[in-house]
Structure 1
């Protein structure tokens, strides 16, 4: 039996990567506040978990300016999308539901 990816398996990170996988097409991104509102997470909690996902190469954050205001964008990398699909398949197999 294959072990589930511990980076994704934490409940908050699973919510983040699931939301990004569902909400974004390849190459798309969300602003940090939109993702925060979508998930109902505090900024600090979301930042911490995004850091873990980014460290694994699953998400990418980029900072830019909209006028004079800083904006952080979050996207799901190809590696992250592949890892999520693998995680989902493994979880379904573990639960006896197949893929």
Structure 2
């Protein structure tokens, strides 16, 4: 989600290489996110080569922003652990 949030759309191969996972693992995750309405998948051609582009939907972008806010709130309210000397 973070990699997709940084761009309007990302080619499947670039995302796979960025997150360093196999095609099959990324495909499974993308399918789950697509079913949730968070990711849009567009298949097409670049020249004669088939390509798959991925982008966050408005709902996906909003969900990711909520997730980031939640993490920031947790970080901001968590006190560092004090270790005895």
Shorter-chain TM range is 0.7 to 0.9
Residue 67 of structure 1 and its aligned partner are, at CA, apart by 2.3
Q: CA RMSD in A?
A: 1.4
When normalised by structure 1's length, the TM-score is 0.71
Partner residue, 1:86: 66
Other structure's SS at 2:17 match: helix
The CA distance in 2 between the partners of 1:96 and 1:67, in whole Å, is 46
Work out the CA distance in 1 between the residues paired with 2:35 and 2:59: 12
Q: 1:77 aligns with which of 47, 57, 61?
A: 57
Query: Is residue 50 from structure 1 mapped to residue 30 from structure 2 by the alignment?
Result: yes
How many Å separate the matches in 1 of 2:47 and 2:2?
A: 31
Task: Mark the runs of 5 or more structure 2 residues left unpaired by the alignment.
Answer: 78-85
Q: 2:76 — aligned with what?
A: 97
Query: How high is the TM-score relative to the length of structure 2?
Result: 0.82
Instruction: Name the CA distance, whole Å, in 2 between partners of 1:49 and 1:96.
Output: 27
| Structure 1 stretches lacking a partner, 5+ long | 1-16
Q: How far is 1:65 from its partner?
A: 1.1
